[in-house]
Amino acid sequence: MSRGTLFDKVWQLHTVGTLPSGQTQLFIGLHLIHEVTSPQAFAMLRERGLPVRYPQRTVATVDHIVPTAGQERPFADAMAEQMIRALETNCAEYGIRFYNIGSGSQGIVHVIAPEQGWTQPGMTIACGDSHTSTHGAFGAIAFGIGTSQVRDVLASQTLALGKLKVRRVEMNGSLPAGVFAKDAILHIIRKLGVKGGVGYAYEFAGSTFEAMNMEERMTVCNMAIEGGARCGYVNPDATTYAYLKDRPFAPKDSDWERATSWWESLRSDPDASYDDVVVFDARQVAPTVTWGITPGQGIAVDEAVPRAEELAEEERPLAEEAYRYMDLLPGTPIAGTKVDVCFIGSCTNGRLSDLREAAKLASGRHVAPGIKAFVVPGSEAVKRQAEAEGLHEIFLAAGFEWREPGCSMCLAMNPDRLVGRQLSASSSNRNFKGRQGSATGRTLLMSPAMVAAAAIRGAVTDVRTLLEPQR
Ligand SMILES: CC(C)[C@H](C(=O)O)[C@@H](O)C(=O)O
Ligand code: SF4
């Protein structure tokens, strides 16, 4: 095989041909679908009388619209009920595996595909969802696509795409206590900007990412898209293989041996050339909180909301807009900002290790009066595992609500919504205006441990002040 980056190798191996437009026709190894972006795609397929080209490479779940407090059918929201029914019908008609509510394996698409072993190194993966970059944690090239592209993949199992440049985003050293994968990626986006990655695939490399477990790598790759990159990935290694071994859809027996040596060969070569390289030091990363209306408007928790004059000229108009919308005064320390709602969940931070970190903080403490705090596992499997460890009891005793899996308050497509001007501390990935429900609702992004700390203190809190001295 040719030498180079993992991105180049996977791209080359999946290239079907070059289209007249100059774009590559790329074969898609795995197509993930959910209820929001698939209905019109199926409708377009029907109009043309086309079959699904590879139903066995297509996997469905329902996540955005599901209520997380009581999931009886029919759903109270007629629109949500109609969307889940459409997915049920489409999957049954086209022979597509569907992880429905109550199957034991339902959950947020970016949580369940890795859990089930569908997501594997060296694959090309597409899903009608921006955070598909998550799957890059396994050394896959994973793209979020729009509905017309969902149609294209259903019909042809290929996509027309322009090739990307590759930026090596390197971070070395250990993250300090109280600093997590979420902080690392918020820090990177703060430094490189929300548009910094446009035209690029981000390769996350260096000892910090190498030391991360798969869930942490997923958190990082999940937000590559928020930094403008088209996809993000980590080269596969022993950590990747240990995670995948014995998952339901991972290769078995002698196939496993063949697969791992194949995956190894796809890693970026030491002499691979990159279009750009940036290097970060993990020791410089602090618990990070956003203060504005994009994930790039982040600061260390012990910093103040930046004054316009401290920002680069081109960042100022957006900062002014953010001060007004967020109702935060420039120059005010972010720590101590009172919050109303604390949300732990989403495809960024709704996995078992996230819930464990939050539970450590919540253990033996209580949610501050007047705060609504809730925990939403990313999947039915995460919920089961968390309950087996007794995490739900810790959360409930501390005054958090314990919910059913789904996207929940990450975005306003289900009953979990902010009200009015509420300010939320959220472990999700987007703080856009109105993102969490109310058109005037406000979001501060942070790690799950920081959300738990905010719930306990009722205000943005430096999680390091709540760590046990011995930690
Ligand atoms: C609803 C869906 C298409 C959307 C996305 O593309 O990502 C959602 O998951 C989001 O996070 O904003
Ligand atoms: S959890 Fe949020 S970011 Fe992830 S897929 Fe659902 S809505 Fe999108």
Which-ligand-closest: CA of 62? 2
Atom from ligand 1 closest to the CA of residue 429: 11
| Residue 22, both tokens | 């100059």
> So what's the pLDDT on residue 471?
42
Q: How do strand 200-205 and strand 231-233 relate by DSSP bridges?
A: parallel
Q: Which of 38, 410, 429, 431 to mutate to test the pocket of ligand 2 (most atoms within 8 A of CB)?
A: 410
Q: What percent of the chain has a predicted confidence (pLDDT) above 90?
A: 98
CA dist 143 and 164 (Å) reads: 12
Q: Specify binding-site residues for [4Fe-4S] cluster.
A: 347, 407, 410
CA dist 329 and 8 (Å) reads: 46
> What's the one-letter identity of residue 271?
D
Q: Which of 354, 411, 416 to mutate to test the pocket of ligand 2 (most atoms within 8 A of CB)?
A: 411
CA dist 120 and 471 (Å) reads: 34
Q: Where are the domains of the chain?
A: 1-284, 288-466
Q: Does 400 score more than 80 pLDDT? A: yes
Q: What percent of the chain has a predicted confidence (pLDDT) above 70?
A: 99
Atom from ligand 1 closest to the CA of residue 64: 1
Cis peptide preceding 333, ω within 30 of 0? no
102: left (phi over 0), alpha (psi -120 to 50) or beta: left
Crossing angle of the two packed helices 214-222 and 352-362, in degrees rounded to 10: 100
pLDDT, mean of residues 62-76: 97
CB of residue 407 inside a 6 A radius of ligand 2: yes
What digits encode the pLDDT tens for the residues 115-143?
A: 999 999 999 999 999 999 999 999 999 99
Could you give phi then psi for residue 304, rounded to 5 degrees? -100, 155
Provide the edge-to-edge strand list for the sheet that holds 24-27.
15-18, 24-27, 158-161
pLDDT band at 470 (very low <50, low <70, confident <90, very high): very low
Is 288-466 the same fold as 1-284?
Answer: yes
Beta-carbon contacts of residue 468 (< 8 Å; ≥ 6 apart)? none
What digits encode the pLDDT tens for the residues 329-388?
A: 999 999 999 999 999 999 999 999 999 999 999 999 999 999 999 999 999 999 999 999
DSSP string, 264-304: HHHSPPTT---SEEEEEEGGG---EEE-SSSTT-EEETTSB
What is the CATH number assigned to the segment(s) 288-466?
3.30.499.10
DSSP string, 82-151: HHHHHHHHHHHHHT-EEE-TTSSS-B-HHHHHHHTT---TT-EEEESSGGGGGGGGGT-EEEE--HHHHH
Q: Does 1 score more than 90 pLDDT? A: no
Q: How do strand 372-375 and strand 24-27 relate by DSSP bridges?
A: unpaired
What digits encode the pLDDT tens for the residues 191-221?
A: 999 999 999 999 999 999 999 999 999 999 9
Domain 1-284: top CATH class: alpha beta
CB of residue 169 inside a 6 A radius of ligand 2: no
CA dist 84 and 86 (Å) reads: 5
What digits encode the pLDDT tens for the residues 143-177?
A: 999 999 999 999 999 999 999 999 999 999 999 99
pLDDT, mean of residues 296-312: 98
| Residue 227, both tokens | 């930094």
> So what's the pLDDT on residue 468?
73
> Is there a contact between 278 and 189 (Cβ–Cβ < 8 Å)?
no
Alpha carbon nearest to ligand 2 atom 4, residue? 347
CA dist 410 and 185 (Å) reads: 18
C-alpha 34 to ligand 1 mean position (Å)? 10
Beta-carbon contacts of residue 404 (< 8 Å; ≥ 6 apart)? 66, 67, 68, 69, 70, 71, 376, 377, 383
CB of residue 129 inside a 6 A radius of ligand 2: yes
| Residue 54, both tokens | 């590879």
57: left (phi over 0), alpha (psi -120 to 50) or beta: alpha
CA dist 81 and 62 (Å) reads: 11
CA dist 107 and 290 (Å) reads: 27
CB of residue 131 inside a 6 A radius of ligand 1: yes
What digits encode the pLDDT tens for the residues 6-57?
A: 999 999 999 999 999 999 999 999 999 999 999 999 999 999 999 999 999 9
* Closest CA relative to residue 426, chosen from 391, 455, 396, 397: 455
- Average confidence score pLDDT of the chain: 97
